[in-house]
Amino acid sequence: MNLIPDLEILDELDVPRLTVRECEGARKVYIETYGCQMNVSDSEIVAAILQAHGFGLTRNPEEADVVLLNTCAIRENAEQKVRHRLDVFRAHKRKRRPGLQIGILGCMAERLRHKLLEQEQLVDLVVGPDAYRDLPRLLEEAEATGQAAVNVQLSREETYADIAPVRYDSNGVTAYVSIMRGCDNMCAFCVVPFTRGRERSRPVQSILDECTRLVEEGYREVTVLGQNVNSYRYVAEGTVVTFPELLYRISQISPELRVRYSTSHPKDCSDELLYVHRECHNVCNYIHLPVQHGNTEVLRRMRRTYTREQYLALVERARRIVPGIALSTDVIAGFCGETEAEHQDTLSLLEQVRFDHAYMFLYSERPGTYAARKYKDDVPLEVKKRRLQEIIELQTRISLENNRKEIGRVHTVLIEGPGKRGPDQLCGRTDTNKMVVFERQTFHPGEYVLVRITDCTSATLFGEPLGRTTLAEAARLEAGRV
């Protein structure tokens, strides 16, 4: 029986808990991952480093000698869930496994190291996102001395470009590839520049090599990652490779490899990038384009570097250059000083753009950010919750209306795995990043299938499979219909 309760997933970040596949090793490590896709990618890097130093990986926290929580500090709610999980593991250590080492990795590590180590004494190890190579030494040091070990130093060079990630909980179909780290944007509400440091881009060839290996291993989709992925810029021997060029080169590795990316900033969404979407059949017609708010004055306070009008012009340009492109976004309710009229501007922007999907949050102040230093968090919690609920209800209606328009259409779906309703169903995503559920029949994960949409909810499409296809063939069929 599992004595440690399952982690409550961070639903608002839409990223599942990860554990690791069992394998042999002198000491066994259990990893849980919170937060964004970058944290998922980081956990795969951590697994690779530890395996290379003789550690084993386990799915079962009860048999682990080391428990590592890879953390998120973007929102207060995320930190509270991590703290709760630490309490669970501390109790397990005290009652059943006194030699257990508990470590915090990632974004919470740098920000809360003093509290976690000295004041509350919750952990034995604190390691920041640029110090994962030091993990084996730190674990050995902590075990030998009985003292907590720490390395939260940020780096201007570290990209882990030479580390081949261990994709320990992968479906074997889709994979994340980190192409850059850090962020230079300094948005008023965001703690990422303080926890992950300045932007630095990974060498081009190392990215292409990793994507090529994934294709050779049978993967059919990669999502390239960065805190601000479309600001990628690598300079070598006088040659500059920007994100659109990199995306194009990845798309040329295989005509059957789908390519996605996240997360992009509106300021770096260039026409050149949009033309890559249009010209490359395997670069998905989907962009996650966080707007954060619908009012120009609030955007100024957020230090987002664009106005409402500029964002709307970008959306119009994207839809003109790439017909049928799907857009998702992030929205924050209740930012400092937000008035009712400014909140209404967010609602009207959602109505005007009609995003396919949105990640919606209420504002929570993060210590050390520009907003925490310069503004007062003065919107009452009850008002924040009410405004967030209005945003959620509106976007849910828009998503449902958008999905209803898909009924009768045929999409190329990459099968990712079984559906949630039973073994007779499979699920996968369209080019526009919409989840589709359909009958299994004789299809298998990793195959491309043409599916006619027959029904929907606000979050999911349902359909009937018409037969197998390839990306290249599907592109030719689509070109013939245009």
Do the beta carbons of residue 31 and residue 47 sit within 8 Å? Answer: yes
Using one digit for the tens of pLDDT, what is the confidence trace for 315-354? Answer: 999 999 999 999 999 999 999 999 999 999 999 999 999 9
- Give the whole-angstrom CA distance, residue 269 versus residue 287: 9
Tokens standing for 66?
């080391």
- Give the whole-angstrom CA distance, residue 418 versus residue 438: 10
What pLDDT is attached to residue 408?
A: 97
Do the beta carbons of residue 64 and residue 26 sit within 8 Å? Answer: no
What pLDDT is attached to residue 55?
A: 93
What pLDDT is attached to residue 83?
A: 83
- Give the whole-angstrom CA distance, residue 45 versus residue 39: 10
Q: Is the pLDDT of residue 45 over 60?
A: yes
Q: Is the pLDDT of residue 418 over 60?
A: yes
Lowest mean pLDDT among 76-90, 158-172, 192-206, 440-454: 76-90
What's the whole-model pTM score? Answer: 0.89
Do the beta carbons of residue 70 and residue 106 sit within 8 Å? Answer: yes
Q: Is the pLDDT of residue 199 over 90?
A: yes
Q: Is the pLDDT of residue 5 over 70?
A: no
Report which of 310, 292, 289 is spatially closest to residue 301, judged by C-alpha positions. 292
- Give the whole-angstrom CA distance, residue 441 versus residue 446: 15
Q: Is the pLDDT of residue 453 over 80?
A: yes
Question: Residues of the chain with pLDDT > 70: what percent?
Answer: 93
